Structure 1
Amino acid sequence: MQSTANYLWHTDDLLGQGATASVYKARNKKSGELVAVKVFNTTSYLRPREVQVREFEVLRKLNHQNIVKLFAVEETGGSRQKVLVMEYCSSGSLLSVLESPENAFGLPEDEFLVVLRCVVAGMNHLRENGIVHRDIKPGNIMRLVGEEGQSIYKLTDFGAARELDDDEKFVSVYGTEEYLHPDMYERAVLRKPQQKAFGVTVDLWSIGVTLYHAATGSLPFIPFGGPRRNKEIMYRITTEKPAGAIAGAQRRENGPLEWSYTLPITCQLSLGLQSQLVPILANILEVEQAKCWGFDQFFAETSDILQRVVVHVFSLSQAVLHHIYIHAHNTIAIFQEAVHKQTSVAPRHQEYLFEGHLCVLEPSVSAQHIAHTTASSPLTLFSTAIPKGLAFRDPALDVPKFVPKVDLQADYNTAKGVLGAGYQALRLARALLDGQELMFRGLHWVMEVLQATCRRTLEVARTSLLYLSSSLGTERFSSVTGTPEIQELKAAAELRSRLRTLAEVLSRCSQNITETQESLSSLNRELVKSRDQVHEDRSIQQIQCCLDKMNFIYKQFKKSRMRPGLGYNEEQIHKLDKVNFSHLAKRLLQVFQEECVQKYQASLVTHGKRMRVVHETRNHLRLVGCSVAACNTEAQGVQESLSKLLEELSHQLLQDRAKGAQASPPPMAPYPSPPRKDLLLHMQELCEGMKLLASDLLDNNRIIERLNRVPAPPDV
C-alpha cells in the first residue's frame, strides 16, 4: 500500500504506466471516493525542474468537461514523490474500447460522433489556453459513462504538454511513435539529425491518426510486419503519401506502397458521415506543415459536422439505407441534392413515404419540416433504380488461423481476430435482416398507396358511369327520342351513341381497376408471407450463441497469456479450447453465409421483381386514370352539346305549340304521339338533368386532376 496525506492506493491497482510515471486507482481516506493518482518515478526527476512542474501548471490552468480534472498535488509519505490526484474514469481509455473484439473494425457511428465531439471540444479548450498536448492518442483519451448512460471522453496525460501559441515552434520531441508527426518521427524514432522546429499542427496529425483508428479499428499507416518492426517503411509511407490519401499500407515484404483515399468497407460509419470526415482526415494528415490545416479550419470543419442533423433515407428500389447529413436551416432542395449525391436519383424523380403516408417535399421549404427519422423508421425513397443491396466484405476473409503449436500470446491474438470477425458477422446479419424488413415495409406502404389510388379512381369512374347510365336509360329520354321529330335529328342520335361508347370505356376502366386491386392484394399476401418467414429467422440467435461460447474461451486465453507457461493438463485443455474455438467460428460463418447472405441475396432478387410489378402497376394506373379523366372531359362536352340541342328542341316545340293553337286539328296518326304539353315538360326536365350531369362530370375531373398531381416515376 502507498499513500499521501489524503489518499490511499495499492500498487496492484495499476491503471497505466509510462516512461516517467505510473497511474493507480486510489481512494480518498475520508470519503472513499475513487480517484486516479499519477506517481512519478526516478526517471522523471532527472528532467529539468521546469519540465517536471510543467504538467502541474498546465492542469491547473485547464477546466473543461472533456479534460481530466486535477483535484490536488500531494506527496508520498516516505520518498516525498510528487503525486497528481485526478479524476477517475472508470471505463478505461479509448484504446481499451478499440481493443475490444466488438470494435475490431471501428466504433459504431453514434459512438464515433461522441468521440469526435469530445476530442474537438477538449482540443478547442487547449488552444484557447495556448496549450499543445504533443501526445494525443487513444490511450490518452479516457472514457467514463454519464448519469444517462452516455459516453464521455476526456483528454489526459499532459506530461508532454506545454504552452505554445499558433505561430510558435518547439524542438523537443515527445509522443508515441505510431501517432507522431513524420518530422518528429524522423528524429525521435529513426534518430536522424535534423534541425526542424515543430508547431501546434503536430497535434492535428496525431488527432488524424487517432480519428482514423477510432473509425476503422486499425492504424492508417501500416508497413509489412507492423509499424514497430519496419520503421523505415513507416517513415516512407507517411512522407510519400500523395495529397488526398488518408491511409497507406505495404501488403508484402519489400512490396509496393498502396494508398487509400476512402475509409475501408468494413468501417461502420455511413457513407454520409464518411463524405464529411474524409476531407478533414486528408487535410490534417498532411506531412508538409505549410499545407496542413490550422486549428481554426479544423475546428470550423468538425463543428460543421457536429452541428448537422441526420435524416435516415431508405432507397426502396436500391434496398439501401442512407444517412443524409444536413443543417437544420438548409432547404429541402439541399436535402434532395444530398440524396442525389448518395443515390444518383435526381430530385425531380424523388418521391417519399413516411410511416405509410406520402410526403410531398417543397424544395423551397426548410428541412426542419422533414419528419424525425431513425434507422428503423426512415423516410422511404420511391424511385426507379436497380436493387443493389448492402455492400459488405465477407468476414471470413478477415479470420486468422491458429498456429499448430501452443503459443499463448499468438493464440490470444488469433482468438481476438477471429472473435472480431465474428462480431462483424453478427452486425452484418442484423443489417441484412433490417434491410429485408425495410424492403417489406416500404413495398407494403407503396401498395397501400396504389390501393388507395385504385379506390379513388374506381369511385370516380363508377360515379361517372352511373350518371351516364342513368341519363341514357331514363324512360323520359326514351319516350322523347321515340318521337318522329327527335329521330330525325342525326346529331342527337350521334351524341347519344357517343355517350354509350364513353360509358363502355368507363365500364372497362372500372373492370381493369378491379383486376389491379386483386393483383395488388395477391402481391401483398405474398409479401406478408415472406415477412413472416424473416421474422421467424433464428440466424441471429445462432450466431450470438456461437459468439458467447467463443467469448468465454477468448477470456481464458486472455488470462493465460499473462502466465509464463501452462502445466501439462492445462496445456491439453488449451489445445481442446483452440479446436472448439475453431469449430464455433466455422459454424458461425456457415450460418452467416447460408442463413443470412444467401437468403438476403434471394430476397434482393425477389424484391427487384416485385418492384418492377409495382412500377408497371403504377404506370398502368396512371394510364387508366388518364382514360377516366379523358372520358369525363369528353362526356362533359357531349352532355353540354346534348343539353344545348335539347334546349333548341324545346324551343322549337314551344313555337310549334303556339302555331298549333291557331291551326285546325291534324288527322289522327296511326300511332299516337305523347301530348305536346307533356313532351315539353319532358324536354325541360331532361335539359336540367343534362346540366346537373355536366356539373358532376366537371367535379369528377377536378378529383382526377388532384390524383394526377403526384408526379409519376420516370419510365424504366
Structure 2
Amino acid sequence: MQSTINYLWHTDDLLGQGATASVYKARNKKSGELVAVKVFNAASYRRPHEVQVREFEVLRKLNHQNIVKLFAVEETGASRQKVLVMEYCSSGSLLSVLESPEHAFGLPEEEFLVVLRCVVAGMNHLRENGVVHRDIKPGNIMRLVGSQGQSIYKLTDFGAARDLEDDEKFVSVYGTEEYLHPDMYERAVLRKPQQKAFGVTVDLWSIGVTLYHAATGNLPFVPFGGPRRNKEIMYRITTEKPAGAIAGTQKRENGPLEWSYTLPSTCQLSLGLQNQLVPILANILEVEQAKCWCFDQFFAETSDILQRVIVHVFSLSQALLHHVYIHAHNTIAIFLDAVHEQTGVEPQHQEYLFEGHLCVLEPSLSAQHIAPTSAISPLTLFSKASENPKGLAFRDPALDVPKFVPKVDLQADYSTAKSALGAGHQALRLARTLQTGQELTLRGLYWFVEMLQSTCRRTLDIIQMALLFLGSSLGTERCSSVAGAPELQEVKKAAELRSKLQTLAGVLSRCSHSVRETQLRMSSLSAELLESRAQVHADRSIQEIQCCVDKMFVIYKQFKKSRLRPGLNYNEEQIHKLDKVNFSHLAKKLLQVFQEECVQKYQASLVTHGKWIRVAHETRTHLRLVGCSVSACNTEAQGAQESLSKILDVLSGQLLQDQTKKVQASPPLTAAYPSPEPEDLIVHMQELCENMKLLAFDLLDNNRIIERLSRIPSAPGI
C-alpha cells in the first residue's frame, strides 16, 4: 500500500505505466471516492525542473469536461514522490475499447461521433489556452460512462504538453511513434539529425491517425510486418503519401506501397459520414506543414459535421439504408440533392413514404419539416426510375479468420483467437444488417402496395360515381321520348350525344374491370409480403451466430489469461489444445450459418424483391394510364352533357311554340293514342335539363379529383 496525506492505493491497482510515471486507482481516505493517481518515478526527476513542473502548470489552467481534471498535487510519505491526483475514468481508454474484438473493425458510427465530438471539444479548449499536447493517441483518451449511460471521452497525460501559440515552434521530440508526425518520427525514431522546428499542427497529424484508428480499428500507415518492424518503410509510407491519400500499406515484404483514398469496406461508418470525414483526414494527414490545415480549419470542418442532423433514408429500389447529413436550416431541396448524391436517384424521381404514409417534401421548405428518423424508422425512398436492387456490398468475414498454428504457442494462439473473434463479431453485425435490410425492404414494399390498393379503391369510386350518373341519365324515359322524334335535326344531335355517352360508359366499365383485376393482384402481393415478413421474423440464424460468438469469447478470455503465464503444465496444455479445436469448430459453424442462412437468403430475397419492385412499377404505370382514361372520359362526358343540355333547351322551346300554334289553329281532336300535354312535355324537358346539369357538375367534380391526385408528385400509383 502507498499513500499521500489524503489518498491511498495499492500497487496491484495499476491503470497504466509510462517512461516517467505509473498511474494507479486510488481512494480518498475520508470519502472513499475513487480517483487516479499518477506517481512519478526516479527517471522523471532526472529531467530539467521546468519540464518536471510543466504538467502541473498545464493541468492547473485547464478546466473542461473533455479533459481529465486535476484535483490535487501531493507527495508520498517517505520517498516524497510527486503525485498527481486526477479524475478516475472507470471504462479505460479509447485504446482499450479499440482492442476489444468487438471493435476489431472500428467503432459504430454513433460511438465514433461521440469520440469526434469529445476530442474536438477538448482540443479546442487546449488551443484556447495556448497548449500543445504532443502525445495524442487512443491510449491518452480516457472513457467515462455518464449518468445516462452515454460515453464521455477525456484527454489525459499532459506529460509532453507545453504552452505554445499558433505561430510558435518547438524542437524537442515527444510522442508515440505510430502517431508521430513524420518530421518528428525522422528524428525521434530513425535518429536522423535534422534541424526542423515543429508547430502546433503536429497534434493534427496525431489526431488524424487516432480518428482513422477509431473509424477502422487499424492504423492508417502499416509496413509489412507492422509499424515497429520496419521503421524505414514506415517513414517512407508517411512521407511519400500522395495528396488526398489517407492510408498506405505494404502487403508483402519488399513489396510496393499501396495507397487508399477511402475508408475500407469493413468500416462501420455510413457513406454519408465517410463523405464528410475523408476530406478532413486527407488534409490533416499532410506531411508538409505548409499544406496541412491549421486548427481553425480543422475546428470549422469538424464542427460542421457535428452540427448536422442525420436523416435515415432507405432506398426501396436499391434495398440500401443511407445516412444523409444535412443542416437543420438547409432547404429540403438541398436534402433531395444530397439523397441524389448518395443514391443516384434524381430529385424529380424521388418519392417518399414514412411509417406507411405519403410524405410530401416541398423543396422550398426547411429541412426541419422532415420527420425525425432512425435506422429502424427511416424515410422510405421509392424511385420512379426502375432499377435492379443491388443490396449491401460487404467483405466476407471468412477472409479475416486466421487458423491456429499446430503447436501450442500462447501468444500466437491468443492473437489468432482475437482476430477470429473479431471476424465473428463482424459476421454478427452483418447478419443483423442483412436481416434489417430484408425487413425494411418487405415493409416498405408492403406500404407501397397498400398505397396502390388505396389508389385502386379511389379510382373505382370515381368510376362508379360516373357510371351511376351516366346510367341514370341514359335510362330516363324522357330522354328516350325526345330522341324518338327523328324529324328534328336537334333531336338527331341529341341522339348522337346520347350514343357517345353510352360509349364513354362502356370505356369506364372496362376501366373498372381492369382496376379490379389490378386490385386482386395487389392483394395477392400483399399476402406474399406479409408471409415473407413472418419468415424473416421467425429466422433464428442471428441467435445461432450470437451463441457461437459468446462461446468463442469464453475461450478467448482464457487464452488472454494464459498468455501472461510462463507456460502450462501437461493437463492445462491438453485443455488448451481442446479449446483450440472447439474454438475452430465454433468459428466454422458461425461462418457456415452466416453464409447459408443469412447471405444466401438475403441474395434470394434481392432477386424476389427485384421482381416485386418491377410489378409495382408496372402497376403504378398502369393505374396512371387508367386514371388518364377516366379523366378523359369525364372531360368528354362533361362536354357532351353541356351540348345535350343546350339542345334540350332549344327543343323544349320549339316544342312549346309548336304546341301553342296547334292549339290556336285547330279544334281539339280525340286521338287513338293521346300525346303528352305540352305543359307536361315542357316540364319533363326542364327536369331532364336539370338532371343533366347535375350530371355535368358531378362529372366535373370527379375530374377535378383525378387532376388533383395526378398533380401530387409523391403519391405512388396516381
- Per the shorter chain, which TM-score range? over 0.9
The structural deviation recorded for 1:492 is 1.4
Shift, 1:675, TM fit: 2.9
Deviation at 1:486, TM superposition (A): 5.6
1:323 aligns to 2:323 (yes or no): yes
Task: State the SS of the aligned residue for 1:495.
Answer: helix
- Contact 1:453 1:707 survives alignment (8 Å): no
Contact map agreement 1:239 1:287 (CA 8 A) in 2: yes
Aligned position for 1:585: 587
**Alpha-carbon deviation of 1:511?**
1.0
* 1:59–1:641 Cα change, 3 Å: same
After TM superposition, give the deviation of residue 664 of structure 1 in Å.
1.4
The one-letter code matched in structure 2 to 1:461 is: I
2:201 and 2:292 in contact (8 A); partners too: yes
Contact 1:419 1:550 in 2 (8 A): yes
2:362 is paired with a residue whose SS is: coil
The match for 2:637 among 611, 618, 635 is 635
- CA distance in 1 between partners of 2:689 and 2:417 (Å): 91
- Counterpart of 1:693 in structure 2 is 695
In 1, the alpha carbon distance for the partners of 2:338 and 2:714 equals 21
Q: How many angstroms does 1:665 deviate by?
A: 4.4
Give the equivalent residue in structure 1 for 2:364. Answer: 364
Aligned-partner residue type, residue 593 of structure 2: V
- How far the C-alpha of 1:67 sits from its partner, in A, is 0.3
TM-superposed deviation, 1:491: 1.2
| Corresponding residue for residue 240 of structure 1 | 240
Please report how far the alpha carbon of residue 677 of structure 1 lies from its aligned counterpart in structure 2 after TM superposition: 2.6
Paired position in structure 2 for 1:617: 619
Q: Which residue of the partner structure matches residue 251 of structure 1?
A: 251
Q: Please state whether the residue corresponding to 1:229 is helix, strand or coil.
A: coil
Which residue does 1:410 correspond to in 2?
Answer: 412
Deviations 1:121-146 (A, max 9, x none): 00000000000000000000000100
2:570 aligned to which of 553, 558, 568: 568
Residue-by-residue CA offset, 1:416-455 (whole Å, 9 max, x unaligned): 0000000000000000000011001101111111111111
Partner of 1:22: 22
* Cross-structure match for 2:423: 421
Q: Show structure 1 runs of 4+ deviating over 6 A.
A: 666-670, 712-715
Whether the aligned pair in 2 keeps the contact of 1:265 and 1:392 (CA below 8 Å) is yes
Q: Deviations over 1:100-134 (max 9, x none)?
A: 00000000000000000000000000000000000
Amino-acid identity (%):
84
Mapped contact 1:91–1:143 kept (Cα < 8 A): yes
Q: C-alpha distance in 1, partners of 2:180/2:486?
A: 107
Equivalent residue number for residue 662 of structure 2: 660
Counterparts of 2:474 and 2:203 in 1: how far apart (Å)? 88
1:553 touches 1:577 (CA, 8 Å); kept in 2?
yes
How far 1:483 sits from its partner (Å)? 4.0
Secondary structure of 1:552's aligned partner? helix
Contact 1:313 1:323 in 2 (8 A): yes
> 1:86 corresponds to which residue?
86
Distance 1:634 1:54, change over 3 A: same
Measured in 2, the distance between the counterparts of 1:627 and 1:667 equals 53
1:556 counterpart residue number: 558
CA contact (8 A) 2:451 2:716 kept: no
Q: Is the 8 A contact 1:349 1:713 kept in 2?
A: no
Question: Partner residue of 1:224?
Answer: 224
| 1:85-164 correspondence to structure 2 within 5 Å | 85-164=85-164
Partner of 2:48: 48
Q: Contact 2:448–2:716 (CA<8 Å) still a contact in 1?
A: no
The C-alpha deviation readout for 1:368-402, integer Å capped at 9, x for no partner, is 00000000000000103320111111100111111
**How big is each residue's C-alpha offset from its partner over 1:49-88, in whole Å with a ceiling of 9 and x where there is no partner?**
1000000000001000000000111111111110101000
Do 1:190 and 1:231's aligned partners in 2 also have CA atoms closer than 8 Å? yes
Tell me which residue corresponds to 1:455.
457
Match of 1:9 in 2: 9
Aligned twin of 2:309: 309
2:317 is paired with a residue of what secondary structure?
A: coil
Matches within 5 A, 1:59-74: 59-74=59-74
Measured in 2, the distance between the counterparts of 1:492 and 1:402 equals: 94
Deviation, 1:480, is: 3.0
CA–CA distance in 1 between the matches of 2:491 and 2:671?
Answer: 21
Give the drift of 1:642.
Answer: 0.6
Shift of 1:712: 7.5
Separation in structure 2 between the aligned mates of residue 33 and residue 325 of structure 1, nearest angstrom: 42
User: Is 2:186 the partner of 1:186?
Assistant: yes
Work out whether residues 166 and 199 of structure 2, in 8 Å CA contact, stay in contact via their aligned partners in 1: yes
Q: What amino acid maps onto 2:617 in structure 1?
A: H
Question: Is contact 1:487–1:493 with CA below 8 Å preserved after alignment?
Answer: no
Q: Render the CA deviation track for 1:600-640: whole Å, top value 9, x for unaligned.
A: 00000100100000010001000000000000000000011
Report if the CA contact (8 A) 1:187-1:193 is conserved: yes
Specify the SS of the correspondent of 1:310. Answer: strand
Q: In the alignment, what sits opposite 1:546?
A: 548
What is the correspondence of 1:285-296 to structure 2 with a 5 Å cutoff? 285-296=285-296
Does the 8 A contact of 2:483 with 2:491 survive in 1?
no
Give the Cα–Cα distance (whole angstroms) in 1 for the partners of residues 10 and 410 of structure 2.
28
Matched-pair contact (CA < 8 Å) for 1:312–1:375? yes
- 3-state SS of paired residue (2:711): coil
Unaligned runs of 5+ in 1: none
How far is 1:366 from its partner?
0.3
1:438 paired residue number: 440
Give distance in 1, aligned partners of 2:329 and 2:715.
29
Which region of structure 1 is more displaced relative to structure 2, 220-229 or 394-403?
394-403
1:314-340 CA deviation, whole Å, 9 max, x = no partner?
000100000000000000000001000
Structure-2 separation of matches of 1:497 and 1:476: 16
Normalising by structure 2, what TM-score? 0.98
Could you tell me how far apart the structure 1 residues matched to 2:627 and 2:667 are? 56
1:275 corresponds in structure 2 to 275
Equivalent pair of 1:481/1:487 in contact (CA under 8 Å): no
Cα distance in 1, alignment partners of residues 672 and 246 from structure 2: 104
Tell me the distance in 2 between the aligned counterparts of 1:484 and 1:312. 70
Alignment of 1:518-557 (within 5 A): 518-557=520-559
> Counterpart amino acid of 2:429?
R
Query: TM-score if structure 1 supplies the norm length?
Result: 0.98
Given that 2:315 and 2:382 are in contact with CA atoms closer than 8 Å, whether structure 1 keeps it comes out as yes
Partner SS, residue 335 of structure 2:
helix
Residue 650 of structure 1 is aligned with which of 634, 652, 664?
652
Q: Indicate conservation of the 8 Å contact 1:314/1:381, yes or no.
A: yes
The 1-side partners of 2:660 and 2:490 are apart by 22
Task: For 2:112, give the aligned amino acid.
Answer: F
Q: CA RMSD in A?
A: 1.4
Name the SS for the 2:494 alignment partner. Answer: helix
| Whole-angstrom CA distance in 2 between matches of 1:488 and 1:68 | 98
Structure 2 unaligned regions, length at least 5: none
Q: Give yes or no for contact 2:215–2:268 (8 Å, CA) kept in 1.
A: yes
- CA distance in 2 between partners of 1:604 and 1:251 (Å): 35
Alpha-carbon distance change, 669 to 419 in structure 1, aligned in 2, over 3 angstroms: same
**CA distance in structure 2 between the aligned counterparts of 1:72 and 1:274, rounded to whole angstroms:** 42
1:219 aligns to what SS in structure 2?
Answer: coil
Which residue does 1:607 correspond to in 2? 609
Q: How many Å apart are 1:523 and its aligned residue?
A: 0.3
Once the two structures are overlaid, the 10-residue window that deviates more, 152-161 or 450-459, is: 450-459
Aligned residues: 715
Q: Distance in 1 between the 2:593 and 2:668 partners?
A: 100
Report the alpha carbon displacement of residue 474 of structure 1 after superposing the two structures with TM: 1.3
AA partner of residue 326 (structure 1): I
